[in-house]
Amino acid sequence: MPFTNEQLERYSRHIILKEIGVKGQKKLMNGSVLIIGAGGLGAPAALYLAAAGVGKIGIVDADVVDLSNLQRQVIHTTADVGRPKVESAAETMRAINPDVEVVTYHEFISSANIMDIIKDYDFVLDGTDNFPAKFLINDACVMADKPFSHAGILRFKGQLMTVIPHQSPCYRCVFKTMPPKDAIPTCKQAGVIGAMAGVIGSLQALEAVKFLTGAGELLTGKLLTFDALTMKFHTVKLPPRGDGCAVCSDHPEITELIDYEQPVCEFKPGKD
Amino acid sequence: MKITVDGDVKEVKDGITISELIEQENVETPEYVSVSVNEEFEQRANFDTRKLKDGDVVEFLYFMGGGQ
């Protein structure tokens, strides 16, 4: 289908880019991205991907908007407090760009539903805030051969990596197993600067755009870290995907999804 | 000797082990950090004995669980 005049105008800054152009914009409009977590990372990613005209965007989150979310989750407003995050996020995304089909999943992801949810999307963004979810997303995406972007943020730092399963190293290649409950501080315990979610979530959106359009080089085989206090970006080259990984090697030990215990992030004084 | 730690060149004592470097660098949650030396992961069991060499490139990779 040719672009309408409104679309030509709306996406003109994309279309003028030689790496995107008319072809790339069509790929975005025919593409689909699933965002798991409508929070700090998911908010900027959802805003930019909706604005970019990605054809279908799924958004998964079981929570409602809390006042303490608004310091960084810029897709929600004060009036949204108490509403399901997916509803609030979808409303903002549709307001930005009515072209986009937004699909909401007001539920927690688990081994029971994740395969069914991710199967309908080209690319997955992990914007979750806990390790059980991060390992579940990694393992499910590896098993389903679904490319995805992992990211994490804490205090003034953030990191991300893109995984093309069975080609590039996965999250489990780097971080073998779940850390014990409360071993690693969470944002709730240790804090996070709001704009950090904006930086890293926007980088995830960029990876999704690059994946869908084929522009440039993906952040595969590398972990990008960002420290806002020193303003340093650093790319760590990862060892190649080897035989050692429990889930993405050619003879994996893990062949079924695992629901790790959900660590509810209680504040433990003195823990960090 | 000089090694590169998380992208920065540092002067360290000759033959420093990974465990000693972890302590010297004040690595947070040292029990859970992943360490790569010259783009290969080192097993945690070898942290006490693996001596680093001049010019080695060491990266600390941390669990970062936040996102919401």
- For residue B2, the one-letter residue type is K
**A223:B61 CB<8 A:** yes
pLDDT per residue as tens digits for the range B38-66: 988 899 999 999 999 999 999 999 999 88
User: Quick check: B32 contacting A, CB < 8 Å?
Assistant: yes
B 34-63 residues with CB < 8 A to A: 34, 36, 39-41, 59, 61-63
pLDDT at residue A180, as a whole number? 86
CA B60 – CA B68 distance, rounded (Å): 24
Closest partner residue to B67 (CB to CB) among A153, A185, A237 is: A153
pLDDT at residue A188, as a whole number? 77
> Between A and B, how many CB-CB pairs are < 8 A?
87
- Class of domain B2-62 (CATH, top level): alpha beta
**B68:A40 CB<8 A:** yes
Q: From the centroid of its chain, how far is CA A30?
A: 19
Whether residue A74 contacts residue A88, with contact meaning beta carbons closer than 8 Å, is answered with no
Beta strands in chain A (DSSP E): 32-36, 56-60, 101-105, 123-126, 148-154, 157-163, 222-227, 232-237
Q: How many CA atoms lie within 13 A of B66 on its CB side?
A: 27
Both tokens assigned to A18: 């030689």
**A35: chain B residues, CB-CB within 8 Å:** none
From the CA of A16, how many Å to the nearest CA of chain B? 33
**B67:A179 CB<8 A:** no
pLDDT at residue A243, as a whole number? 75
**Dihedral, CA of residue B55, residue B61, residue B62 and residue B68, to nearest 10:** 130
CA A194 – CA B47 distance, rounded (Å): 35
What's the DSSP call for residue B65?
-
Secondary structure class of A70 (helix, strand, coil):
coil
Q: From the centroid of its chain, how far is CA B46?
A: 12
User: Quick check: B9 contacting A, CB < 8 Å?
Assistant: no
Going from N- to C-terminal start, the domains of chain B cover 2-62
User: How does DSSP assign A109-160, residue by residue?
Assistant: --TTTHHHHHTT-SEEEE--SSHHHHHHHHHHHHHTT--EEEEEEEBTEEEE
Q: What is the pLDDT along chain A (272 residues), one digit of tens a residue?
A: 789 999 999 999 999 999 999 999 999 999 999 999 999 999 999 999 999 999 999 999 999 999 999 999 999 999 999 999 999 999 999 999 999 999 999 999 999 999 999 999 999 999 999 999 999 999 999 999 999 999 999 999 999 999 999 999 999 999 998 888 888 887 778 899 999 999 999 999 999 999 999 999 999 999 999 999 999 999 999 988 877 899 999 999 999 999 998 654 443 333 33
**B40: chain A residues, CB-CB within 8 Å:** 239
CA A64 – CA A229 distance, rounded (Å): 31
CA A121 – CA A144 distance, rounded (Å): 11
Q: What is the ipTM of this complex?
A: 0.88
User: Quick check: A234 contacting B, CB < 8 Å?
Assistant: yes
Closest residue, chain A, to B31 (C-alpha):
A183
Q: How many CB atoms lie within 10 A of CB A52?
A: 26
User: Quick check: B64 contacting A, CB < 8 Å?
Assistant: yes
- The model's pTM: 0.93
pLDDT at residue A39, as a whole number? 93
Secondary structure class of A32 (helix, strand, coil):
strand
Q: Which residue has the tokens 């992992």?
A: A150
**A272: chain B residues, CB-CB within 8 Å:** 28
